[in-house]
């Protein structure tokens, strides 16, 4: 019993939720996250918030909604500044949120934060890939090296928001043994390559999404068909139902607080029938 207790005391347990898309995504988190927290009893719940509000960007209201549903900390991506008020939110210390650290120009907010979990310390980092996204970014590799030098702990989890799997795999392998986990986001399609690398870094190319399951990466199918068939431009607003079948993608992590490596990574993929909220009044 003492040995098991010691292992537990040296462990940080994390649920990382993939890109939450629109209101149906938020309703999915509201409905399913409490069940996951009861099962895994995490120390920290992190979610990617760049698609929270109508599928593009976030607002203070949508962030508060997710905090009320059990999310503790938020990462973002290339849509971090799509909504009015984003600068104020990213600069407001009351919001536990970060944006990609490797923009060349001066932006609001910060690219990483230290999260205290009791006496334990975890650094959460957000980086954006350059392949097929934004060439004018600083190298995520070089920026990450600088962050590691400043971190003051081996317990580091990275949301690498990138398009190309080659860039993601290269990033994971390069920082194997230097960070606790590299978690890919952005494509909204969960990959089946979750594993612990040789240096004890947990890795997955993409966690997936939380959103309407009968969609194309969380967006209305007809709007996307129009893009590929060259019938017109897709609306920036995601015309999706608020309830119905939804996909919930996430990973569960166990990090060795003393050594900084990951002990376990479990992929979570669940189709949920999201029900309408019934008022108790």
Beta bridge partners of 183: 159, 204
DSSP of 56-107, one letter per residue?
A: S---HHHHHHHHHTT--EEE--TTTTSSTTHHHHHH-TTS-B---TT-SS--
**Helix residue ranges, H only, the chain:** 2-9, 22-40, 60-68, 86-91, 140-151, 165-174, 221-228
Angular region, 193: left φ>0, alpha ψ -120 to 50, beta rest:
alpha
Task: State both tokens at 49.
Answer: 């918030």
Q: Could you give the CA distance from residue 29 to residue 17 in angstroms, rounded to a whole number?
A: 9
Contact 268, 207 (CB under 8 A): no
Task: State both tokens at 220.
Answer: 């209305």
Residue 79 is among the residues annotated as catalytic for this protein:
yes
Strands of 129-228, DSSP E: 156-161, 181-185, 195-196, 202-204, 209-212
| Catalytic pick among 79, 161, 186, 188 | 79
Contact 250, 42 (CB under 8 A): no
Please report how the helices 22-40 and 60-68 are oriented relative to each other, as an axis angle in degrees rounded to 10.
30
Residues annotated as catalytic are: 79
């Amino acid at each position: 019993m003492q040995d098991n207790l010691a292992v537990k005391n040296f462990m940080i347990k994390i649920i990382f939720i993939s890109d939450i898309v629109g209101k149906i995504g938020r309703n999915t988190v509201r409905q399913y996250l409490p069940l996951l927290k009861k099962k895994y009893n995490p120390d920290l719940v992190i979610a990617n918030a760049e698609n929270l509000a109508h599928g593009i960007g976030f607002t203070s209201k949508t962030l508060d909604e997710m905090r009320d549903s059990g999310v503790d900390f938020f990462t973002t991506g290339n849509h971090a500044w799509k909504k009015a008020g984003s600068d104020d939110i990213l600069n407001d210390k009351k919001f536990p949120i970060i944006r990609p650290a490797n923009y060349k120009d001066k932006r609001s907010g910060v690219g990483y934060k230290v999260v205290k979990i009791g006496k334990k310390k975890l650094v959460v980092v957000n980086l954006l890939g350059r392949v097929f996204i934004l060439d004018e970014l600083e190298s995520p590799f070089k920026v990450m090296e600088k962050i590691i030098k400043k971190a003051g702990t081996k317990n580091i989890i990275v949301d690498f928001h990138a398009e190309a799997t080659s860039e993601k795999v290269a990033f994971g392998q390069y920082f194997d043994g230097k960070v606790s986990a590299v978690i890919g986001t952005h494509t909204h399609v969960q990959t089946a390559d979750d594993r612990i690398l040789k240096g004890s870094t947990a890795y997955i190319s993409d966690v997936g999404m939380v959103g309407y399951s009968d969609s194309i990466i969380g967006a209305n199918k007809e709007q996307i068909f129009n893009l590929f068939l060259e019938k017109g431009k897709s609306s920036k607003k995601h015309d999706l139902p608020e309830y119905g079948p939804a996909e919930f993608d996430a990973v569960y992590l166990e990090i060795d607080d003393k050594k900084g490596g990951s002990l376990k990574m479990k992929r979570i993929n669940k189709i949920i029938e999201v029900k309408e909220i019934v008022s108790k009044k």
